[in-house]
Amino acid sequence: MKCIAHRGWSSYAPENTMAAFYKALEHDWIFGIELDVHLSKDGIPVVIHDHTLERTTNGEGEVRDFTFSELSQLDAGSWCRESFSGERIPSLEQALAAMKDSGKKVTIELKQVGSRYIGMEEAVVEVVDRLDMMSQVIFASFDHTSVKRIEQLAPHANRGLIIGQLPNLILEQLHYVAADYVMIEHHFADAALIKHLQENGIHVGVWTIDDELIVNRGRTMYEDVYITTNNPRILKDHILKSTTI
């Protein structure tokens, strides 16, 4: 099993903040880090999950209505714990720069919906390319058109399709967007499906598993599978039994 820290180590620190990313970077047995990207008003890729600010910051409104300078002034930590007061919304460049040469895969989920963010794919690819991290990154989205656009911009990039429902015609979907990774909501990922995908050369991930019982029941099924979790602690014993957190 390959542990992917969901929005960083988000059970420890506020999601999608540098504190959460640094915590995940501390441990060699964490295989990768996942983060979410929107586009600011001035076209800068920023790391935050929701389209709106209210849940994870002290701001109000939609991310796309604010410049990065404005977004970076918001408190993105106090909602989690007061000790994280002052954590900021990072830019994608800031987050990736911290992960560069860490040996960890970085999954960038593009929070594209139709044409909500004009130029998002170009902006994200530009940042990754400029940092020379193309081989370290997996570009992923629920939005088929967004993944297809990444294929056009960066043909050699790793691309993934995120599936949040019963995955009908899944190989056909992956072929259409030219993706070799798929991330499936764990309720829909059974052993037969995982085996079928892996036999067809697809890298499989499941999300989001925060229950150790689920991990134990699926131990054989999840061989060579990327397990996305908010709490990497629950996977630690399955990956490196001698590690102490």
Cα separation, 196 vs 208, whole angstroms = 21
Q: From the candidates 27, 38, 49, 186, which is the catalytic residue? A: 49
DSSP 64-126: GGS-HHHHTTS--STTT-GGGTT--PPBHHHHHHHHTTSS-EEEEEE---TTSSTTHHHHHHH
Type of residue at 61: G
175 is catalytic: no
Q: Are 139 and 160 in contact (CB under 8 A)?
A: yes
**Which sign, positive or negative, has the C-alpha torsion 99, 101, 105, 107?**
positive
203 is catalytic: no
Q: From the candidates 6, 27, 38, 203, which is the catalytic residue? A: 6
Number of residues that make up the chain:
245
**Selection from 103, 120, 106 nearest residue 46 by Cα:** 120
Catalytic residues: 6, 49
